[in-house]
Amino acid sequence: MTPSSTTTARTDVLGARLLGSRQRALLAVASITGVLVFWGVFTSAGWVDRVLLPSPQEVFRSLLDSVRDGSLLRHVAASLLRVLEGFAIALAAAVPLGIAMGVSRVVRGILEPLLELLRPIPPIALIPLAILWFGIDELSKVLIIAYGAFFPILLNTMAGFREVDLVHVRAARALGAKRHHIFRDVVLRSAFPFIVVGARVGMGMAFIVLVAAELIASSAGLGFLISDARYNFRTDQMFLGMAMIGLLGFALNKALLEVERRLLKWKSP
Amino acid sequence: MPDNTAIRPGIAIRNLVLHYGVHEVLRGISLDIADAEFVCLLGPSGCGKTTLLNAIAGFIFPTAGGIAVNGHEVRGPGAERGVVFQEYALFPWFTVEQNVQYGPRLAGVDRKALNAISDHYLELVGLSDFKRHYPNQLSGGQRQRVAIARALAAKPEILLLDEPFGALDAMTRESLQDELVRIWEAERRTCVFVTHSIGEAVFLAETIIVMQAQPGRIRAIIRNDAPRPRARTSDSYFSMYRKVDEALRDRT
Ligand SMILES: Nc1ncnc2c1ncn2[C@@H]1O[C@H](COP(=O)(O)OP(=O)(O)O)[C@@H](O)[C@H]1O
Ligand SMILES: [Mg+2]
């Protein structure tokens, strides 16, 4: 623990001044614009087959079309709903289980070998089986997404319980805390940052599994948009689908970072 | 042997022996600490000061012998024994105010009274303006002030302090020593203060328990009746310093 300092000029580890948020925004706009311009020049020069690589204008046009006919919103909504459902199930299962395993050696001893065997199996490998068991509809996809998000949340939650500092437990006991107070005010609080990080990693995993599941079997969603475009040689729609997946993933991660920042205000000086 | 310690207020330690595994850490400790007394446990690093304090706090248990507080055998930690740790041990997820209110909150004190309590103790340690801060926004000295306020707010009869100022710079350390004496005079709690600094013990204590290592045991008990306020430059301070220093060095 080091005392916090309230220096105004923030510097990196080598002592160089960090960029302000305006400068950083400027650089971000410049780099993205640069890539778009390069892409535009590259395609309009006719060096590549336009069917294989559409121009940015074409992708933009297909964005406008799909916004107008409502299909984009439908796909985004379908994907978002799935990922959130799967994530919520994972959270509801992994956090209590991680707490139980963190608190009880018996529970841990029973479940750990099983989980260690399951853990190396990539969720994507379970998609065919899930389709057989739970059908081709929503349920199989949501469950596979939940499965993907489950392990990062569980493992981080368990790790959090190992981080409880004995001196905090002693301090609480000397202030009159009983076991349930210590659990609520020390153990859970100590593990909480880890649970939050686990949730964010789990969300990233949920997103990967979502797209894979949609590519394999679905009738809506951004993954479907991409695989459907393949059959119609609509690379512009594939690019649109990929860009939307990128944006959605970025937004979800940002949202969770913001939740993390608010819940863990005490961590940053 | 008749047990005449049963009703005496204060701390009574009888023939305490404590092992870590096969390692004998404390041997034959017997000690009486009176109510409202300020006692320093002084000795070289590794002589078992922390172990003895932890046993009084009820965090660990002796192999033989016993500790009674106000006539009751120590069977675990309790709110009547407040502890201040060297590493502060503030709850980083609570604000300063929530840290100070934690003990009384567990005791079932209602919301309004809680605020009065934390206001009082934060005022006492001079941190009223830092109520809403989190511990990691404070300096080491400020954190230890909060830790003292937190311990006091639970209204303990006994305050156990384990090298609380050990990690602080010399100037902060002296000003916190001054504050602790002022608080002790105002609140009149029993204080058991662990230190390896002779100067600190001479400045703070009424009774200095000089310990030695391997196994940890009491070498001398020295009364320090120097009047307060004490000055760190007075003749009585230096003569007491010499006396304690000799007791520590005594090789017999
Ligand atoms: N948890 C522990 N397990 C084993 N030995 C310990 C433990 N804590 C302390 N000891 C040993 O007990 C002795 C006394 O330690 P301690 O009470 O911390 O001394 P002090 O506080 O006076 O420096 C030391 O020799 C130390 O190595
Ligand atoms: Mg110690």
Q: Give tens-digit pLDDT for A1-24.
A: 444 444 456 677 777 777 788 888
Is A76 found in the same domain as A4? no
Q: Count structural domains, chain A.
A: 2
* Kind plus residue range of the DSSP H or E element containing B201: helix B198-204
Is A191 found in the same domain as A101? yes
Considering the domain boundaries, does residue A242 fall inside one? yes
Please give the structure tokens belonging to residue B40. 């320093």
Is A147 found in the same domain as A111? yes
Is A126 found in the same domain as A77? yes
Residue A34 lies in domain: 1-48
Considering the domain boundaries, does residue A269 fall inside one? no
Looking at residue A1, its pLDDT comes to 41
pLDDT (tens digit, 9 = 90+) per residue, A162-200? 888 999 999 999 999 999 999 999 999 999 999 999 999
Task: Tell which A residues from 227 to 266 touch B, by Cβ distance under 8 Å.
Answer: 265-266
Distance CA B207, CA B220 (A): 10
CB distance B91–A177 less than 8 Å? no
Is A192 found in the same domain as A118? yes
Confidence at B202, pLDDT banded by 50, 70, 90: very high
Domain boundaries, chain B: 91-154
Please give the structure tokens belonging to residue B174. 């002296």
SS (H, E, C) A94-119: HHHHHHHHHHCHHHHHHHHHHHHHHC
Is A113 found in the same domain as A141? yes
Is A199 found in the same domain as A67? yes
Please give the structure tokens belonging to residue B237. 């301070």
Confidence at B151, pLDDT banded by 50, 70, 90: very high
pLDDT (tens digit, 9 = 90+) per residue, B81-109? 999 999 999 999 999 999 999 999 999 99
Is A220 found in the same domain as A164? yes
Strand, helix or coil at A253?
helix
Looking at residue A49, its pLDDT comes to 80
- Locate the DSSP E strands across chain B: 11-20, 23-33, 38-42, 64-69, 72-73, 81-84, 158-162, 190-195, 207-212, 217-223
CATH number at residue A132: 1.10.3720.10
* Contact predicate B185/B115, CB 8 Å: no
Axis-axis angle for helices B140-153, B111-124 (nearest 10): 130
Q: Which residues of A212-243 are buried (b: 16+ CB within 10 A; e: fewer)?
A: bbbbbbbebbbbbbbbbbeeeebbbbbbbbee
Query: Model-level pTM?
Result: 0.83
CB distance A176–B107 less than 8 Å? yes
Question: Does B48 contact ligand 1 (Cβ within 6 A)?
Answer: yes
Considering the domain boundaries, does residue A166 fall inside one? yes
Question: Does B214 contact ligand 1 (Cβ within 6 A)?
Answer: no
Residue B6 reports pLDDT greater than 50: no
Give chain A positions within 8 Å (CB) of B159: none
pLDDT (tens digit, 9 = 90+) per residue, B112-136? 999 999 999 998 888 899 999 999 9
User: Is residue B224 left, alpha or beta, with left meaning phi > 0 and alpha meaning psi from -120 to 50?
Assistant: beta
CB distance B89–A177 less than 8 Å? no
Considering the domain boundaries, does residue A110 fall inside one? yes
Distance CA B142, CA A195 (A): 30
